[in-house]
Structure 1
Amino acid sequence: MIKKLLIALSFISVSLMFAQKNSDQQAVADASEKLRLAMLSRDKNALESLILPELTYGHSNGHIDDAKEFVEKLVSKQSNFLNIENTNQSIQIVDKTAIVRNHLYGKTADLGKEPGEVNLDILYVWSKTKSGWKLLARHAVKVEKNK
């Protein structure tokens, strides 16, 4: 009887772990989509609600923004996305950290520059906080057009 009880408890425990992981993956996917929409709308409050103050935001040209610079560049249209399409997204949860990889294609109209396109592979690091998943780090690399 005790053996059957232990097996049942083990099964329930494993089931709960998988349910939590799936719930976290969905929450990270939702946060990623909210970030995409906030970047398009340049909504300062929405952007700030999705990032940690310690954010390090790496661009494909090697420049690294801190949290304040990341938000200000978007709000001021210094970095201006007209559209962003994320594809091939994968999410891996490790404790209270999520590693997200995706491909980003976007059209841009940055202040003082000709309209352009970006074709990037991106790595995001999200951290689970009491108020939800927050972006801690991001880094992008350019993808060759024929890839």
Structure 2
Amino acid sequence: MRITRRHLAAAGALALATLPTIAPITARAESADEAAVRKAIDDLSKAMLAADKAKLEALVADQLSYGHSAGRLETKKEFVDVIAGKKTIYKSITLNEPTVSVVGNNAIARHVFVVETETDGKPSQAKVGVMQVWVKDGGNWKLLARQAFRTS
């Protein structure tokens, strides 16, 4: 059989037409650890909104380094005390553009943190980029480090 340009064009059109059905099959599925880290991130947001001291303490590592976009750092005790003591009250938390990458017993999570808070009776809003480092500790994922940064 002689192959003509018409045959090549038809083959190309057929290949392009099947791409949408092939792409989902080849997309990488989320691992169990990635799903567990996403759940831990969600649980942390819920604990912050509820000012739940026990859940906050369970979700963060003892060695926590919690960095704010203005450069202020908090330890685990400081982080938990500010939220559980309602020095800062979280009214809403939205995490946009989330990504999670797991490497062994560590995970790097990134998102845009959009928040409404109240501190000393004064409402405020913020939108910052965040990078978090999570560590698997005894089968549970715990926040080890967090650094926020101003976005453009």
Shorter-chain TM band: 0.7 to 0.9
What do the CA deviations read for 1:83-102 (whole angstroms, capped 9, x no partner)? 00001000011111000000
What do the CA deviations read for 1:5-56 (whole angstroms, capped 9, x no partner)? xxxxxxxxxxxxx88x700000000000000000000000000000110000
TM-score, normalized by length of structure 1?
A: 0.81
Q: State the superposition RMSD in angstroms.
A: 1.5
What do the CA deviations read for 1:113-139 (whole angstroms, capped 9, x no partner)? x21101010000000111410000001
Shift of the alpha carbon at 1:76?
1.5
Give the number of aligned pairs: 125
Which structure has the bigger radius of gyration?
2
Q: Contact 1:60 / 1:141 at 8 angstroms: preserved in 2?
A: yes
Q: Contact 1:60 / 1:139 at 8 angstroms: preserved in 2?
A: yes
TM-score, normalized by length of structure 2?
A: 0.78
2:134 is aligned, of 126, 129, 140, to 126
- Write the mapping of 1:1-147 to structure 2, written as runs, cut at 5 A: 22-112=31-121, 114-144=122-152
Shift of the alpha carbon at 1:111?
2.0
Q: Which position in structure 2 is the counterpart of 1:6?
A: none
Distance in 1 between the 2:54 and 2:127 partners? 27
Q: Contact 1:40 / 1:80 at 8 angstroms: preserved in 2?
A: yes
Gaps of 5+ in 1: 1-17
Gaps of 5+ in 2: 1-27
Q: Which runs of 4+ in 1 moved over 6 A?
A: none
In structure 1, what residue type is equivalent to 2:137?
T
Shift of the alpha carbon at 1:81?
1.1
